[in-house]
Structure 1
């Protein structure tokens, strides 16, 4: 890891990290944004400022115009595949090498955690890289390579399921759909079992994922927030570290483990 600018990390947090037996890292859109991935609700650049969620992020929207929806998600997948994990992703992967147990739970639908080296990541909102049949739900594998899509995507008919002939849909959770049950159960269980939770780049308001920090706190865990802005989690956390995750997380890992 490269040398970093000076960032104040409470000694009590470093001590808690040294003593932790199970660390849960809960990440949101702010982490991927530092890799250049557009968020949804940013007032200037958010995807929902430019595109209608009813057209692109609902099952009904897919039924009405499959080519529009599939092409848009292929554009998003292209953007993700061209992006690179940032120092926050890499620091989280590094952290797993220094604590007895680490669980990564993310609201993001990209694979940047995995490409940084994290394993067994729990994707609460699905993944752009795990499409499935709209009819029979069987998984579909993309061919190798990166799509070549214009801004916003083009009208592109989805591939067909080799089992039933149904249309393949993106593997993300759309509005009106439930989060994957097994993944949510694993995330909630990890929250109840951890003794230190990091909420990084998440507003903490999107349910039911927003329950994760409160479940951890009720079970006795200490909470750390890493975010440039204030969020409702300010009132829940033991420590709130203001700033970008790409600077704070590498500094924390270096101070706790690489410089000690």
Structure 2
């Protein structure tokens, strides 16, 4: 199957890729998925913290969660899967071909590895947005405010509005993580770009995702119905496997360098 994939990759003029949490997991970034202990943070269901309702009720708690995630992600490095995708993009560009990467991850490790043409479906944990004026900027400060210097994982903290990061554009509005929370809509421009990539490519790869979350999970169907060949690379079986022309099970960091060595 690898030889057939190599042949397909060589003749493809437009390669589009969708990546999910499994790619970042190989950089030791934990995921919050499903139910039970794997979806909990300080005994809170993550879906009940990373949502607009939690922000309205207790923005300090939401920021405490994202400060924890920023701290945890801050020293993580891109892995061989990220690097293989960045190298493939450069190789295809040198051949006057097209490459687009769509990611559900918010850690920006694709950018760290050198990827350029990236659509972030769920935003970036390293970007913040003012709730008052809408200004968006990059921010990699950890902790993002001095209040979080006193954070203790063993104690219950409560942060007031005055403890939270503020906009520096003069409006003094509260900053929030520029990510898509549970219950929020994706950016129209981002999802439109993702759909265009799926419609126009002739090879579509789904890497490190369970293919259960909409609308990202529909992209492989869009690509297939538009005539593209499709491939799934994941640690275990996914619902997208039966629709794919190529299926490879294992770590993306081990599989992709070999798949792209053409």
Per the shorter chain, which TM-score range?
Answer: 0.7 to 0.9
Is this contact kept in 2: 1:38–1:45, CA < 8 A?
Answer: no
Which of 150, 159, 164 matches 2:165?
Answer: 159
The yes-or-no answer on 1:86 pairing with 2:86 is no
Superposition pairs for residues 64-143 of structure 1, below 5 Å?
64-99=57-92, 100-142=97-139
SS of the equivalent of 2:227 reads coil
- The residue aligned with 1:230 is 237
Is this contact kept in 2: 1:34–1:86, CA < 8 A?
Answer: yes
- The residue aligned with 2:181 is 174
1:97 to partner: Cα distance: 2.1
More strand by share: 2
- The residue aligned with 2:256 is 249
Residue-pair matches, total: 246
- Cα gap change, 1:33 to 1:219, in 2 (>3 Å): same
Q: TM-score w.r.t. structure 1 length?
A: 0.87
- The residue aligned with 1:5 is none
1:87 to partner: Cα distance: 0.4
Is this contact kept in 1: 2:101–2:118, CA < 8 A?
Answer: yes
Which of 215, 219, 222 matches 1:208?
Answer: 215
Q: TM-score w.r.t. structure 2 length?
A: 0.87
| 5+ residue gaps, structure 2 | 144-148
| Per-residue deviation, residues 173-193 of structure 1 (Å, max 9, x unmatched) | 011110011011111001100
Give the Cα separation in 1 of the matches to 2:3 and 2:111. Answer: 30
- Cα gap change, 1:45 to 1:201, in 2 (>3 Å): farther
